[in-house]
Amino acid sequence: MNICLFSIVTYWHGIKGGMENHGKILCEGLVKRGHEVTVISTRHPDGKEYEEVNGIKIYYLIKTGFGTYWKKWGKESLRKFNLLDSIKPFDIVLSQSFSGYYFAIKKGKYRIPFVSFLQGAGPSLTITMIKVAFSQQRIPIAETLRISLMYFVHYFVLQLPTVLLSDLIICASDDVKKSVRRWYPVRRKKIYTIMNGIDTFVFSPNKQERDRRRKQLGMREEECLLMTSGTISKEKGHHLAVETLNTLLEENTGLKLVIVGAGEYLASLSGLVEKHGLKDRVILTGFIPNEYISSYYNAADIYLLPTLRAEGLPFTLIEAMSLGLPIIASKIGGIPNILKNEQEGLLVNPGDTDDIVSKILILLQNESLRKELGANARSKVLNELKAENMVNRTLKVIESNLFSNQRGVKY
């Protein structure tokens, strides 16, 4: 098939969030299986307009704003699609989240199947943030109201048209699937759950990597390294990891925290670290490519996922599970569906640093529990969450529902 993917932000922009990771893994998997893949995305910060990576053709639209649905994205993305489609017709169009909304609105004249991938459902994310703002007071009320208004506009302008006009909707978890059915009036039979998957060879335990990275981070053998990772935004809860460490250090001096990732909240997070006098205890790495990030997981002893956001199935969670790390994660969104409490990890109430502290202390005092949770987590990834499974199932769902002789698909 000749496949077009709309995505307002990609891994190749230097962003390593769930949507970006999913897009990278999916596109690479499709190319390996003999399909042609073209990605249309927003302006690249470096000003590049085109590149080909591992057989994936990527177009960055210079007249658009980076990572935004606005600033000419709709019309410019469709203009580029029309040009490419006139040269070699596409068989199917894919959309990361609501990136293909403008194509969806105009799709009647193309007669090309349209499939959306959702890592989360917008209204559910908004409700979660409002709850957190009022109950934990971690996010300013004014900011929460601003985000709520933004999502209200997004819902009617972007989300609703994209979802209603999609021929298939593929969700990252059953929790996302439930949210889609709750918030959008769509037929049940066109919604599927396909869990995210990763390269379990890249994300695997490696003692040499552990020793090398711990030495580079200045870790002593007896010290415990906590880790959190992902896009650095406030709703991801990285600041809670800093607050937790600050509390723990009152009685446990042999602890350090490494935060891997980049994002809009990184400067504020750095300020929080400095405010608590933790510059010698907290390491902020910035963006780390996938090929290097596994060494940080290997160096860690306990992984924290203190997110405040109702996510589908975070890639950072799967990566940490694949490394066999004991995990403490927020009981929110799709996380409890894959990380069973006291089986593959320990769950905490979102935003509750006291709960996080108590769970860390439990793990610090129980080595056998750490090993048991880590082993169970890795086993689950090997059995259920491999990248090849995700790509194969995606193709199977698309082909079984849409395949025929007309331009390669049924429509």
Tens digit of pLDDT for each residue in 108-151?
A: 899 899 999 999 876 665 666 555 555 545 556 676 677 677 77
Could you give the CA distance from residue 148 to residue 129 in angstroms, rounded to a whole number?
9
Least confident of 153-167, 207-221, 334-348, 364-378: 153-167
**Domains defined for the chain, CATH in brackets:** 2-197+387-402 (3.40.50.2000), 207-384 (3.40.50.2000)
Statement: residue 4 has pLDDT above 60: yes
Q: Is the pTM of this model over 0.85?
A: yes
User: How many Å separate Cα 87 from the centre of its chain?
Assistant: 33
Distances in Å between the Cα of 204 and the Cα atoms of 44, 208, 217, 395 are: 32, 12, 20, 26
125 close to 159: Cβ distance less than 8 angstroms: no
Q: What is the pLDDT, as a whole number, of residue 151?
A: 73
Q: By mean pLDDT, which of 22-31, 102-111, 122-131, 203-212 is the weakest?
A: 122-131
Stretch 225-244: mean pLDDT, rounded? Answer: 94
**381 touches 200 (CB < 8 A):** yes
pLDDT at 16: 77
DSSP letters, 12-59, are GGT--SHHHHHHHHHHHHHHHTT-EEEEEEE--TT---EEEETTEEEE
Could you say which DSSP state residue 167 is in? S
Distance CA 359, CA 362 (A): 5
> pLDDT tens, 370-394?
999 999 999 999 999 999 999 999 9
